[in-house]
Structure 1
């Protein structure tokens, strides 16, 4: 027997086995959502490039500056100019010139003040890339959106994969990528960054990382004013934990984190308006978009147009979404997403005016497309499950082609996006 004291020099000097360092390899939860997202962006890019041949020169006197803000563009301007259509020109103005106050005594202040209606998260992120790399705005905005969108889809996939499995996760990512207004994930709009931050909040809440979720809520509040319904999500999450097994009930620290997160979500709805109020004062009234200042939004407008029946029908739609959120198909996605299914539309209907822009707003109602797809609640994925996903994606892609060509591309008979 050889001991430490009797070991031969050769034995003592034998070299240790080399340490093998494992390289990071993308898992299914990374490459599947990223691949689906990138493929969908290529498809949308082709559709936009083809449809863009119909775009008219801007500004056009007949449009009364509805579609041009920062600079004139020729007819058929090419893909890189199309990226900045509509609100994209406001984001380009902010990313390149920043926020400004009207000069003392100025009379034509509408453009300068209206730019304050856009929160700074997205344009300032693009501005950082512009100043550090020197790339043109269309390239910078594309890079920011591709990265943010890929991150958002990855987080969404992981959130659903934890609760409902890989097929449901892939389905929701694909349906979101091919949604009728999903072009916004690659043009000069804040949807990609908002998606990433929203999914970060939902995933962090699901993982019970409430204080980190609070940080993401603040960032989201400075990107899109949609944090208020997250307070309902947090409340539903807290209730599900309270009703769960005794060993999973929240500790005092967790109760504090959930309470702080809920309050931050509500406060986030007013954060940017508060900042704007401090910066520009009461003289402008431009603390937010006019639609966000409406009282009860769609409910009040429908009441004025159709009497009590209008708001009742809208409330009925929300009630249906609440009931659907309790079904196994949606509840299986987790309490966070199933609650978001109805509380986010309720918020949007309550704070915006009746407008075709609702198609854009509902892009972030993430579980909504799952209402139209069959998925296995238990057991294997069958061919008819895959077929239903493919059919819905194709129909959605057809609607996407229509929306891009009739709404996002500016023609004389456009529909406001």
Structure 2
């Protein structure tokens, strides 16, 4: 009954449901498998060439190689939880600590270790399983937000330059699964699912505030352009969900404050990571990008800023946006605004852009066929580039993934 009601309102999902005998899931599952084989081959090749580092011995096995960097912090969280007393550096500031890493991913991985799996296997298995589930949910989402583009859009995401992250000991796979589910629930007006998904999403990776902003923008647009078709009950539901998402967006900051007794503990923890680049500075919204680009490019930073903003505007306002649902575009805008407000640009930026995966539906409008082949080929070729510059440990490496 529920599926019938949803498919009546969503022709694209009706088409998928009607082809149940053809097993709609075969395509996204097959594409996921091919994409994981490609990323695994690249990661294995680099693992065999990895020199000894603080993370691994020389030539580590694939599991050890897949659980470096932040995966070690997730391991610490899974074993020890979070400190009630924050570490203080020699200059009197809060140092790097586990509060920068949210609890859902390491706690789920810990459940897997309880059945006998070592941490490395548990964390990678969780990421791989979540990436498969993400591929299936994202395919359904793409079919709804951009009918006819779902196959190529999913290929862009699963073969993207940062696609190896889908099988590393990071929270991205799980977060993207939750995000895809939340976006699909939004599109289907399955509000009850959002009440459940948004807290879990917000405690997996930062995203609650961006989702609240996207809902708020959608509320205002519908109120101003489609008021008659926006009944009061739905308005109250959307407003409530926006507030709910915002509350959980601040939830981890509140938890950190309650445990440590410091209202600035979470922000100070996050700032400790960027201090290696620019020293200790206060967080002023919308300033990290100018500050960061100036650090990277000197006097040329305004040109880089204009270029980045121009690329985002071209993506979101260009003709390829046509045929892509408003909700997907608003989420992309909201998340980019969130990054613009608080994120310091560095090598992790590429990974932090993964939540705008719905934008792949816009890129999927590219024609003709050779252009599509070039786009996918570039995605695959850039995977080893990302691994080399961001994941592989090269001496005193500061290009964190």
Q: What stretches of structure 1 of length at least 5 have no aligned partner?
A: 1-23, 60-67, 376-383
User: Is the contact between residue 201 and residue 217 of structure 1 (CA under 8 Å) also seen in structure 2?
Assistant: yes
Change (3 A) 1:269 1:48: same
Equivalent residues in 2 for 1:118-137, closer than 5 Å: 118-131=101-114, 133-137=115-119
Alignment-derived partner of residue 7 in structure 2: none
Alignment-derived partner of residue 4 in structure 1: none
Alignment-derived partner of residue 354 in structure 1: 345
1:195-235 deviation digits (Å, cap 9, x = unpaired): 01111111111111234213211111100112222223213
Deviation (angstroms), 1:413: 6.7
Deviation (angstroms), 1:169: 0.9
SS of match in other structure, 1:198:
helix
1:311-362 deviation digits (Å, cap 9, x = unpaired): 6863674465346424452241211111233332221122111211111111
Equivalent residues in 2 for 1:40-189, closer than 5 Å: 40-59=35-54, 68=55, 73-102=56-85, 114-131=97-114, 133-166=115-148, 168-189=149-170
Equivalent residues in 2 for 1:280-359, closer than 5 Å: 280-282=260-262, 285-286=265-266, 288-290=269-271, 294-295=283-284, 296-301=286-291, 310=301, 314=305, 317-318=308-309, 321-322=312-313, 324-359=315-350
In 2, Cα distance between equivalents of 1:277 and 1:44? 39
Equivalent residues in 2 for 1:330-409, closer than 5 Å: 330-370=321-361, 372-375=363-366, 385-409=368-392
In 2, Cα distance between equivalents of 1:95 and 1:244? 48
Alignment-derived partner of residue 416 in structure 1: 400
Deviation (angstroms), 1:152: 1.7
Change (3 A) 1:336 1:309: farther
Alignment-derived partner of residue 265 in structure 1: 245
In 2, Cα distance between equivalents of 1:200 and 1:117? 24
Deviation (angstroms), 1:27: 5.5
In 2, Cα distance between equivalents of 1:188 and 1:110? 29
User: Is the contact between residue 179 and residue 363 of structure 1 (CA under 8 Å) also seen in structure 2?
Assistant: no
User: Is the contact between residue 92 and residue 123 of structure 1 (CA under 8 Å) also seen in structure 2?
Assistant: yes
In 2, Cα distance between equivalents of 1:212 and 1:274? 24
Length-normalised TM-score, structure 1: 0.78
Alignment-derived partner of residue 195 in structure 1: 176
In 2, Cα distance between equivalents of 1:330 and 1:104? 47
Alignment-derived partner of residue 232 in structure 2: 252
Larger CA deviation: 387-396 vs 85-94: 387-396
Deviation (angstroms), 1:115: 1.0
User: Is the contact between residue 145 and residue 328 of structure 2 (CA under 8 Å) also seen in structure 1?
Assistant: no
Indicate the structure (1 or 2) with the bigger Cα radius of gyration: 1
User: Is the contact between residue 48 and residue 405 of structure 1 (CA under 8 Å) also seen in structure 2?
Assistant: no
Deviation (angstroms), 1:244: 6.5
In 2, Cα distance between equivalents of 1:98 and 1:416? 23
> How large is the RMSD of aligned CA atoms in angstroms?
3.4
Change (3 A) 1:326 1:303: closer
User: Is the contact between residue 69 and residue 400 of structure 2 (CA under 8 Å) also seen in structure 1?
Assistant: no
User: Is the contact between residue 373 and residue 385 of structure 1 (CA under 8 Å) also seen in structure 2?
Assistant: no
Aligned residues: 370
Change (3 A) 1:243 1:26: farther
Alignment-derived partner of residue 6 in structure 1: none
1:35 matched to 2:24? The reply is no
Length-normalised TM-score, structure 2: 0.81
SS of match in other structure, 1:129:
helix
Change (3 A) 1:201 1:105: closer
Alignment-derived partner of residue 185 in structure 2: 204
